A and B are shown apart, each in its own frame.
Chain A
Amino acid sequence: MAITTESVALPELTTDDLSRYSRHLILPEVGMEGQRKLKAARVLCVGTGGLGSPLALYLAAAGIGTLGLVDFDVVEASNLQRQIIHSTRDIGRKKLDSAEEKLKALNPAMNVVKHDTMLTSANALEILKDYDIVADGTDNFPTRYLVNDACVLLGKPNVYGSIFRFEGQASVFATEHGPCYRCLYPEPPPPGLVPSCAEGGVLGILPGLVGVIQATEVIKLILGKGESLIGRLLLVDALNMRFRELKLRKNPECPVCGPHPTVTKLIDYQQFCGIVPETPQEANVKNGIPQITVKELKRRIDAGEDVQLIDVREPFEYQIAQIGGKLIPQNDVPQRLAEIDHDREVVVHCKSGGRSQRIAEFLKQSGYQNVANLAGGILAWSDEIDPRVQKY
């Protein structure tokens, strides 16, 4: 009975659809009805970056009727190594506009809905409610928990993928009887412990692999065919090219999807992940380490002040760009303290200021009295002092 009602509500395929999707139509698992389900489907892709690029392109090719995109970023040169929906000429354009153009070129009949915003606790439920399935291609812990909780609260499946260096994970969370992201990771790691792809790097192909796995899971959920990744975590190791899977269980004490939830509305996810907004005073001193700006450092170097600049990045980064610091990669610092003069002021720098902050804290604990961190690192130097310093 339900199936009959559903088929009546499904959109008809046009003559163009019949030729475009002929390879789907001859698959018994898709067929006319499956293709009509795809045409009726509304999928939200959160992020149009590494994971979002292949996801959105394949969903468009497959004949998804409505694809929502959430992003507020603009295309940068360093995105193009993996974000294949964007091209060189899109640098500086909004990712949403760039993505829409490619998706419309691939499938003009698809309805693209652009959400030009950061997903927040204030807007997530409103944005997600119009979609059947959410695909999470975001790049930070607060948004991961936000997408998960919003999906659980709204009862929408969360097709999850995440990547780091050569390693990826994929699953389907927040279905009625399956586990959610919080069942797997009840708590986020403390800020700074797990590096981001911007800090730790990522093989450009890896989001392609994982994003296509997410697209596959989205299509299967819509068709209602095959065995979904619900209750399984797929691990992808691209370096050794191994795929493994682990069993996921619904946590009976899960604070959001368990029988006695304590999280019944969206919370402050920045705070949940330990990210505290900076007040002006805190911006100058973080964990006891003074933060110096690139302008201040430049002024002091120009004034001939004695500043011992230590660069804690890796040698290959040093080869790309440097600003005159002495290279001691972060993991070598404990063994090479003898090379850092106790009696002179030390300013530590890295690419964007994260690693150098931790090393500055370590130096302070090791007895250095006068240690500062270069806020924003070499990227800020390139932006504000010398654009010839190559960004990467």
Chain B
Amino acid sequence: MTIFIPTPLRAFAGGQDTVEVDATTITEALDGLTNAHPALRKHLFTDKGKVRAFVNLYFNDEDVRYLPQKELTPVSAADTLSIIPSIAGGD
């Protein structure tokens, strides 16, 4: 599946705006991403391995928090996962 990396996190993913991973669930996809780019891990997860509260994960256009199976939702190659961080700029 394709994972969209937002601007603030691209520096931790080799500057890429998308990363392709082979995975069968969202959890596996995130593992694949953070194994390939370990510097991303602390920006996405707490020390206990929970997704940080200010990071939103979207499976296609749905918030992962509202999917019945959440991070265990099965994924296919055509699906996308978007990481949506808070940004506040406006000035």
Contact = CB atoms under 8 A, between A and B. Distances in A.
Interface of A: 47, 49-52, 79, 83, 136-141, 144, 161-167, 169, 184-189, 193-198, 200, 202, 207, 233, 235, 237, 239-240, 244-249, 331
Contact of B43 (A137, A139, A193, A245): A193
B88 A187 contact: no
B84 A246 contact: yes
Nearest to A194: B8
Contact of A162 (B11, B52, B56, B87): B87
B89 A202 contact: yes
Contact of B90 (A139, A184, A187, A240): A139
Contacts of A169: 84, 87
A170 to B, nearest CB: 11
A52 B91 CA distance: 8
Nearest to B63: A249
Interface in B41-83: 43, 52-54, 56, 58, 61-63, 66, 82
A187 B61 CA distance: 21
A166 B7 contact: yes
Nearest to A164: B87
Contacts of B58: 246
Contacts of B56: 184-185
B86 A141 contact: yes
Nearest to B12: A331
B85 interface: yes
B86 A163 contact: no
A139 B61 CA distance: 26
B32 interface: no
A167 B84 contact: no
Given A164-B7, A240-B17, A249 B90 contact: no
Contacts of A193: 43
Contacts of A166: 7
B91 A139 contact: yes
A323 B43 CA distance: 32
B91 A197 contact: yes
Interface of B: 6-8, 11, 17, 43, 52-54, 56, 58, 61-63, 66, 82, 84-91
A164 B54 contact: no
B39 to A, nearest CB: 9
B66 A249 contact: yes
B69 to A, nearest CB: 16
Nearest to A48: B91
B71 to A, nearest CB: 17
Contacts of B62: 246-247
Contact of A164 (B11, B17, B43, B89): B89
B61 A247 contact: yes
A196 B85 contact: no
Contacts of A198: 91
B89 A196 contact: yes
A196 B17 contact: no
Contacts of B8: 164, 194-195, 200
B89 A139 contact: yes
B9 to A, nearest CB: 10
Contact of B91 (A49, A189, A195, A249): A49
B88 to A, nearest CB: 5
5 contacts: A139-B89, A139-B90, A162-B90, A233-B84, A248-B63
A140 B85 CA distance: 14
B63 A246 contact: yes
A90 B62 CA distance: 45
A141 B82 contact: no
A136 B90 CA distance: 8
B84 A50 contact: no
Contacts of B66: 249
B14 to A, nearest CB: 11
